[in-house]
């Protein structure tokens, strides 16, 4: 017997979308996700973090589809840790990192490999890392580097997760690309992507139905099919509650 959400996959950003500032997940969101998955839905996250972080930080969260991790550079099985798909940065990340250090002194400069993070000041140039994360002192610094690097390093993809959080991945590694892969793996019929900031742009555009949280930046609202009334406290719950009508299930 079919269930109302059979074939529907929700991929949710975490910070500022599923959680308010990565602090906690509201009880209403937990209950809505359980209702969604109990009724045939597939739920996953599209996060800038490692997949293992989600299981450690939020053990109650039901994730029953592969995870888009490290800003769309890999797809992982959250229970086994198996990497199902991966696209690391190409070699142009090396001059990019060196340019970052010349332009400013970041508060944080990290490179992500398959197991965690290493310092961007002490990295192995023979390793193809998955993502660079740079936290700048000001929003102007982050915007300046993003604008400049998009021209200088066309084989890399640049986005911000918050105003001073600047990230780089391979040009073909982003949340939209991993959503396509997760859809292929799960054979989902309808994908729903929900997010709030620049690095969610491709997730929302690639989804069959794109959703922006009420606290999203304007550029994300502009590309969404639906904007929630609630912020990260209850946005995912609101989406699930309204989904049958929104998707005409």
Same domain for 109 and 78:
no
Question: Mean pLDDT throughout 16-38?
Answer: 94
- The structural domain count of the chain equals 2
Q: What is the domain range of residue 211?
A: 8-86+174-247
Q: Where does a domain end: 148, 170, 192?
A: 170
DSSP letters, 111-174, are EE-SSSEEETTS--TTS--SEEEEE-SSHHHHHHHHHHHHHH-TTEEEEEEETTEEEEEETT-S
Q: For residue 238, what are its two tokens?
A: 């609101």
Question: Mean pLDDT throughout 99-117?
Answer: 92
pLDDT of residue 23: 80
Q: Which of 178, 179, 234 is nearest to 208 (CA)?
A: 179
pLDDT at residue 134 is higher than 90: yes
pLDDT of residue 21: 75
Q: For residue 12, what are its two tokens?
A: 């949710």
pLDDT digits (tens, 9 = 90+) for 61-99: 999 999 999 999 999 999 999 999 999 999 999 999 999
Same domain for 127 and 232:
no
pLDDT at residue 1 is higher than 70: no
Please indicate, yes or no, if residue 228 is contained in any of the structural domains.
yes
Please indicate, yes or no, if residue 76 is contained in any of the structural domains.
yes
Q: For residue 54, what are its two tokens?
A: 């989600």
CATH number of residue 133's parent domain: 3.30.1240.10
pLDDT digits (tens, 9 = 90+) for 148-178: 999 999 999 999 988 998 899 999 999 999 9
pLDDT digits (tens, 9 = 90+) for 195-233: 999 999 999 999 999 999 999 999 999 999 999 999 999
Question: Mean pLDDT throughout 33-61?
Answer: 96
**Residue 109 near residue 134 (C-beta atoms within 8 A):** yes
Give the neighbor-by-neighbor strand order of the sheet with 67-69.
Answer: 67-69, 74-76, 83-86
Evaluate the CA torsion angle 165, 170, 172, 178 in order and state its sign: negative
Question: Mean pLDDT throughout 127-134?
Answer: 96
CATH number of residue 48's parent domain: 3.40.50.1000
Q: What is the mean pLDDT of the chain?
A: 95
């Amino acid at each position: 017997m079919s269930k109302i959400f059979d074939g529907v996959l929700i991929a949710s950003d975490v910070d500022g979308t599923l959680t308010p500032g990565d602090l906690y997940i509201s009880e209403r969101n937990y209950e809505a996700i359980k209702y969604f998955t109990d009724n045939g839905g597939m739920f996953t996250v599209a996060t800038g973090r490692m997949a293992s972080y989600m299981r450690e930080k939020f053990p109650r969260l039901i994730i029953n589809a592969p995870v888009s991790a490290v800003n769309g550079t890999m797809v992982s099985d959250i229970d086994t840790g198996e990497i199902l798909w991966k696209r690391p940065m190409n070699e142009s990340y090396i001059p990019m990192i060196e340019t970052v250090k010349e332009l400013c002194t970041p508060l944080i400069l990290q490179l992500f490999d398959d197991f965690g993070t290493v310092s961007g000041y002490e990295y192995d140039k023979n390793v193809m890392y998955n993502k660079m994360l740079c936290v700048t002192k000001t929003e102007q610094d982050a915007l300046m580097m993003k604008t400049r690097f998009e021209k200088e390093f066309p084989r890399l993809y640049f986005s911000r997760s918050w105003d001073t959080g600047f990230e780089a991945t391979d040009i073909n590694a982003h949340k939209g690309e991993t959503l396509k892969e997760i859809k292929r793996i799960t054979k989902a019929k309808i994908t729903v992507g929900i997010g709030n900031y620049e690095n969610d742009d491709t997730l929302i555009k690639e989804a069959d139905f794109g959703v922006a949280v009420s606290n999203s930046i304007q550029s994300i609202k502009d590309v969404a099919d639906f904007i929630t009334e609630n912020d990260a406290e209850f946005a995912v719950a609101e989406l699930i509650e309204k989904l049958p009508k929104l998707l005409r299930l």
